[in-house]
Amino acid sequence: MRHTLAVLVENNPGVLARVAGLFSRRGYNIDSLAVGRTDNPAISRMTIVVEGDDRVLEQVTKQLHKLIDVIKISDITADEYVDRELVLIKVNAEPEKRGEIMQIADIFRARIVDLGRRTMILECTGNEGKIKAFEESLKPYGIKELVRTGKIAMLRGSRYTNINSNGSKEDD
């Protein structure tokens, strides 16, 4: 089963290497990892999607906790949350195909962020399923290049994952 972890870490150099190294040396499978700083510049937040059963997840969580730079881990998989990815796709767009592609973009509420003589770059956000469907729809035109951010996620409602919060499931 895939789990989504929201992990608060010290915004120190090397923290990504520590986390990524932990996953690889203990043989855990990362599906995706997205990281960026939070409203507090000293703290970064990682969203890690990891594959494994409950026992594996327990170990992942405990081993992550052992890293001094890891402040807090929340497994939000079982809760209501919003998750998003962002994708940029450069697709072949000969003038006669542009209309069709723009219609597809419309359906997915994607945006055209660059228009070249023969290509377009489209930007789309959404959960994994939507991103996948969007990619599939553009495939027939010839995808030249694709880049995606990995998933970020946030609990719905008034609960939150933050330091000193009591609204979330803290794992320790």
Partner 1 sequence: MKITAAQALVRCLELEKVDIVFGYPGGAMLPVYDALYHSSIKHVLVRHEQGAVHAADGYARATGKVGVCMATSGPGATNLVTGIANAYMDSVPLVVFTGQVPTSQVGTDAFQEVDITGITIPITKHNYLVKDPAALPQIIKNAFHIASTGRPGPVLIDLPKDVAGEMIDFYYPETVRLRGYKPTYRGHHNKIIEAAELINRSQRPVIYAGGGIINSGASEELLELAELISAPVTNTFMGLSSFPGDHPLFLGMLGLHGTRYANLAVTECDLLIALGARFDDRVTGKLAKFAPHAAVIHVDIDPAEIGKNVPVHVPIVGDVKLVLRALLPLLKKTDRSPWLDRIRELRELFPLRYNREDGLKPQYIIEELYRHTGGLATIATDVGQHQMWVAQYYRFKRPRGLISSGGLGTMGFGLPAAVGAQLGLPGQQVILVTGDGSFQMTMQELATVREQDLPIKIFMLNNQSLGMVRQLQEYYCEGRYMAVDFKFHPDFITLARAYDIKGYTIQTEEEARQVIPEVLTEPGPVLVNCLVSPQEKVLPMVPSGCGIDETFES
The residues that touch partner 1, with contacts defined as CB under 8 A, are 9-10, 13-14, 17-18, 21, 25, 55, 58-59, 62-63, 65-72, 163, 172
Q: Tell the smallest beta-carbon distance from residue 25 to partner 1 (Å).
A: 6
Which residue, 23 or 150, has its beta carbon nearer to partner 1? 23
Range list of β-strands (E), the chain: 2-10, 29-37, 43-51, 70-75, 81-92, 111-115, 119-126, 143-148, 152-155
DSSP helix/strand/coil, 106: helix
Bridge-based pairing of strands 143-148 and 119-126 is: unpaired
Q: 59 or 127: whose CB is closer to partner 1?
A: 59
Which residue number, 61 or 137, has a Cβ lying nearer to partner 1? Answer: 61
| Complex with partner 1: residue 66 or 117, whichever CB lies closer | 66
Could you tell me the smallest distance in angstroms from the CB atom of residue 49 to partner 1? 21
Q: Which of the 8 DSSP states describes residue 139?
A: G
| Residue 128 half-sphere exposure toward CB, CA atoms < 13 A | 9
Among residues 93, 106, 105, 109, which one has the least CA distance to residue 142? 93
Considering the complex, what minimum distance in angstroms separates the CB of residue 68 from partner 1? 4
> What's the closest the beta carbon of residue 29 comes to partner 1, in angstroms?
18
